[in-house]
Chains A and B, each alone.
Chain A
């Protein structure tokens, strides 16, 4: 087997520029080499690439493809012809079939999948189109040529009844192939693998080459270092402050470093130029890379320095002169090693299972793990617009503003005074050589560590301060963040699907009624009741709740009194300045209180927020955070829901109490005439009694509110604060204890009881508590596992009282309990779990300081799920 190589576009620059001998393939050879010894031939293709099989009909392409690749990786033209015509050999369907083929190939390549095209591909035009398709997705493309004698192909085709085309077709294809072989290596393939003869085809074996940039198996932890630019002393200091131990040679020069905790260093390029000791930096980093304690990507300065060292014509500017001078003073062996090292640097790495990408100038998501000239250019130089600014420096397109990828992208290249997170990307170049500082990012801790420059080593073309980072506008969300059918990945509940029509309904509510999305950092999940009780007179009872958690292996639950008010989420910042810095809200407000659908509680939230900030001030101290998000119930119910209570509940009560006495009158009159209506009169009397109870049930939760007087807030969980989400990490007892210490007229306590579901005694006490609570007018209680419990365990179930349920099931529900017991809980329970997962995801993202759109995504998801049809009585 011969392997010919075209201009390589793998990551290695050495390879890119390597001149590879192309073995001539002559027609004579094609014809004469019909019999060779069957040897095991290895075909080596990149793990993410497009592979074209090239060969006449009957050369064995499909058989080879079946042997070497997975069925889903192979797209054959015959198959596509069948898809569009129900006849794999209908040549008139070929143009449409290729449309389908291109679409499938394109989609697979976009998704980064190895793809094999099984078509004859003997004509230049056919190959050219597929090669350019691969390039447009920045993946490498290989060809495997199956060069079998025409006679073999003809014989094979004759054995197949569905292939009724004549020999001349094979001859024509073979002629095309022979013509192709003359210059196929110059068509843009990374490699052209030629299998000669049927035996070699049969014996071929596949090897997948991992991409140079694919180091996903390395999971860290990492210390990622920004642009060093020859500042050796600062680099040594930074590494030491990160806990690295330097290794020095006999002359005291740092030649390597090792971290006692086994951390790996990552350098984002631009080690060289401008600074005082480029060779010293290279020596240290080369030592670390050789020892496997560091990885380094290429920067534009390495690229240019290599060209200069190779004697290419380059403009000596931007600190190149210093490097050349310093390197000239070193031993020639070091110079050669440094050149080879820099020449071999790849342009970006994917690490930690794809969750981290480093590249010198950053990299947009579509380019992660890809290989092409433009990917390398982007990684080295960034997304330049071609314009220059007033200092003569290239204007860069703000790709990070639009970045929506899952992977964290860490880069350098553009000096800024302070590193700033933009959509899960961060630039670590803090201009050390210009007198700024040298910065490292600890991953996964997301912690920044820096050391100041010893001095200004090099005067910047534009002052460092002028290089103010462009403030991203935190208010901007994109329709693509929320619209359409979407699958959201959550760390605590897997993947959650959002249906398009639910997203559409949520878009309207979110846009028209919700509070500013910068404040809307969480929406509470819905809560399911327990399995329906069969107890006489009851629809819901605590026994079922305890039974459920016992079965799920929960050893301790907390029963919290359910306040009958409106669910409220309070986001509070210590000061308006904190609100501006942390939430990007710059209108002077310092918090918000909103409903479970994200609407503001009162037309003017200011007074409530201010009172809460004062009364809850000790919590800021306690939590060590300047802001917090609380899950609460706002009382009375009528404060927010008066419109609903009046139009729905009070109306029903009014109609009932207007109609039923007259019904009773006419029935009694009829009974007085001797008509047999006693039964109906009895029923009417009962219904009148139910109507009165119904009225009492809602009236209990209504009282007049004047401004804030009369309003009470019952917080029961601290959802998130700086750097953490206690909703996930802390048990309910921690929350309730902390909150119970708040002394304030505005704050209502939440009575609760800790129960172990396995203990008969403990359960009985809880049932008694619940009965007392509900008989004296309480709504009921919520039973929750004490601590966050993974798996499909409900985060809480509500057990509602008998009288309260009249508000939900209607005044007369107690008359038809048997019918009502048939209720379908599955949907509600599944919804509760999905919304809970999204809620926790929002809190995690918020606590970790992820960008607005990342927090907004799951919050929006909760609102969308809430519009799913579920029995609203559950």
Chain B
């Protein structure tokens, strides 16, 4: 991978002083995953260019990690790291240009303190979000930005563009600032880091971006991406399975949509001027939980199981109400349960509260004795993630075997989708279907007939006179022996 920095400052060879690297020498710097080499392909008084070339040894990149690392997957062997400008290059650059990055230069202090004409070229920069994002990131910092997408494969033009851009930045810039911009923004554009994101990353970010990041219009996105990415063992296993199926790991990993909605809300809240005129919109996920909680209380349920609990938001709200003496949550995703444990602070939960909570992995297509014995079961935005041919199995498990007195089912009302401006297709990539009110009603009626329940319907969210509410809720009840 390659980075070149050129200047047309006169004399251009002063770049050597600023970088503390002599233009006539080839220097090598050992890195943990390979060797960084620095040399000057041109060094005249008019124009001087320094090239930083990092030879990544992909074998070493892999060997240095444990077997449980997510990277013990084929993608780590056939890897763009030897060619692309990633966090590896950012780290190498920070190391090689340590002094310059701090803005120190005893030989030319005034040059280090002021902007000089610079041109930076990265021939293959992974850029998740496309060339447009590179513009959004670099232009507010004063760079004249040129980002050209690299085609994926000339032989298959239908595949379109790759995730790489050839990036050229030009501008009058302090060299130290330029290096810091790259240090933060390379991994952010790549949206992947080669190292574990540890708590001290926050410190590093503040140190490198302190002066300019705070005023950057994209700082929310930059910060989130910079500090993103955590792995667990289960996700590692999942990614291996994805690869075996010739799939891409992201396709397997479905973030619960409530999570997405709330992440988006969180990002919005970080906007400095939250326009006062706009009424505060309660997210739909919150409305759903409110509706479910209110219904459960009206039904007089004391013990509740949340089937498909995801990261456990509803569990937390159920636990907060002492009227629910027993609360259980289960999900098929072990990763979701890890998130739930973290959200609910299971490790620090007082014994009395902990005793009311049960949390376990399970699947709704397998009968499970642990599902039985609750007053009510709730399936919030769950059934639409089940392939239609498997719905019968889910019905049997929930209504036939677990058979709680009440079952609450919520699912999107597809009629309402026309009210979402930018929505194309279904609301979530993992949805296997979305039903109209009539389709949902028909399914509910079938369940009632097969399993002896009766059902009542409630709207969740604004009940649009034309297309109905965004979420539909069915409340099933069976009359028991007692």
- Interface of A toward B, CB cutoff 8 Å: 473, 475-483, 501-502, 504-513, 516-517, 566, 585, 587, 595-597, 599, 637, 640-641, 643-644, 646-656, 658-663, 665-667, 669-670, 673, 675-677, 680, 691, 695, 699, 702, 704, 807-812, 816, 819-820, 863, 866-867, 869, 871-873
Contacts and interface: CB of A to CB of B under 8 A. Distances in A.
Contact of A651 (B163, B370, B430): B163
Interface string B227-242: 0000001101110110
Contacts of B417: none
A512 B124 contact: no
Nearest to B364: A511
B237 A479 contact: no
A666 B158 contact: no
A506 B155 CA distance: 37
A675 B23 CA distance: 10
B233 A501 contact: yes
A820 B245 contact: no
B247 A673 contact: no
Given A507-B332, A511-B332, A867-B237, A478 B366 contact: yes
Contacts of B42: 669, 673
B366 A649 contact: no
A649 B75 CA distance: 9
A512 B385 contact: yes
Question: Across chains A and B, which 4 residue pairs bring their CB atoms closest together, nearest first?
Answer: A669-B41, A641-B246, A505-B237, A597-B245
Nearest to A504: B334
A513 B244 CA distance: 13
A667 B41 CA distance: 7
Given A504-B234, A505-B238, A654 B366 contact: no
A859 to B, nearest CB: 14
B316 interface: no
B24 interface: yes
Contact of B39 (A476, A650, A677, A811): A677
B53 interface: yes
Contacts of B166: 658
Contacts, number: 240
Contacts of A480: 369
B338 to A, nearest CB: 11
Given A509-B238, A644-B243, A807-B78, A663 B2 contact: yes
B40 interface: yes
B322 interface: no
B133 to A, nearest CB: 17
B333 interface: yes
B164 A654 contact: yes
Contacts of A867: 237-238, 240-241
B72 interface: yes
B73 interface: yes
A660 B83 contact: yes
Nearest to B24: A675
A666 B83 CA distance: 15
Given A655-B150, A670-B41, A479 B368 contact: yes
Nearest to B163: A651
Interface in B281-298: none
Nearest to A644: B246
Contacts of B355: none
B241 A597 contact: yes
B26 interface: yes
A691 B84 CA distance: 13
Given A482-B366, A670-B51, A675-B39, 15 more contacts: A505-B241, A510-B363, A511-B366, A587-B389, A641-B246, A644-B243, A644-B247, A652-B80, A655-B124, A659-B2, A666-B49, A666-B51, A667-B53, A810-B77, A816-B59
B80 A651 contact: yes
Q: In the complex, which of the residues A478, A655, A670, A702 has the most CB atoms of chain B within 10 Å of its own CB atom? A: A655
A656 B2 contact: no
Contacts of B24: 673, 675
Nearest to B75: A648
A867 to B, nearest CB: 4
Interface of B: 1-2, 4, 24-26, 37, 39-43, 49, 51, 53, 58-59, 67-68, 72-75, 77-80, 82-84, 121, 123-124, 126, 150-153, 155-156, 158-159, 162-164, 166, 233-234, 236-238, 240-241, 243-248, 251-252, 254, 332-334, 361-370, 385, 387, 389-390, 392-393, 396-397, 401, 430
Nearest to A566: B246
A665 B51 CA distance: 11
Given A648-B78, A869-B72, A695 B153 contact: yes
Contact of A872 (B74, B153, B251, B252): B74
Contacts of B150: 654-655, 658
A866 B51 contact: no
Contact of B26 (A655, A675, A820, A871): A675
A647 B251 CA distance: 12
B247 A643 contact: yes
A816 B430 CA distance: 42
B245 A659 contact: no
B308 to A, nearest CB: 11
A866 B245 CA distance: 11
A512 B84 CA distance: 34
Given A508-B238, A658-B150, A476 B396 contact: yes
Given A479-B367, A670-B26, A673-B43, A655 B396 contact: no
B363 A479 contact: yes
13 contacts: A483-B366, A508-B234, A508-B334, A508-B363, A509-B241, A566-B246, A644-B248, A655-B164, A662-B2, A675-B25, A872-B77, A872-B240, A872-B243
Contacts of B72: 869, 871-872
Nearest to B159: A646
Contacts of B252: 509, 512-513
A658 B124 contact: yes
Nearest to B86: A655
A513 B387 CA distance: 9
B68 to A, nearest CB: 7
B238 A516 contact: no
Contacts of B332: 507-508, 511-512
A680 B78 CA distance: 22
A491 to B, nearest CB: 25
A810 B79 contact: yes
Given A508-B334, A658-B83, A659-B1, A651 B367 contact: no
Contact of A656 (B83, B238, B364, B385): B83
B164 A658 contact: yes
B156 A702 contact: yes
Contacts of B68: 869
B363 to A, nearest CB: 4
B156 A699 contact: yes
A784 B157 CA distance: 40
B3 to A, nearest CB: 10
Contact of A869 (B40, B151, B236, B362): B236
A686 B234 CA distance: 39
B39 A812 contact: no
B303 to A, nearest CB: 20
B51 to A, nearest CB: 5
B33 to A, nearest CB: 14
Q: In the complex, which of the residues A479, A675, A872 has the most CB atoms of chain B within 10 Å of its own CB atom? A: A479
Given A505-B334, A655-B83, A869 B240 contact: yes
Nearest to B335: A508
A129 to B, nearest CB: 27
A61 to B, nearest CB: 41
Contacts of A807: 78
A809 B77 contact: yes
Given A476-B393, A566-B246, A653 B236 contact: no
B162 A654 contact: yes
Contact of A812 (B25, B82, B162, B334): B82
A660 B74 CA distance: 23
Contacts of B84: 655, 659
A695 B83 CA distance: 14
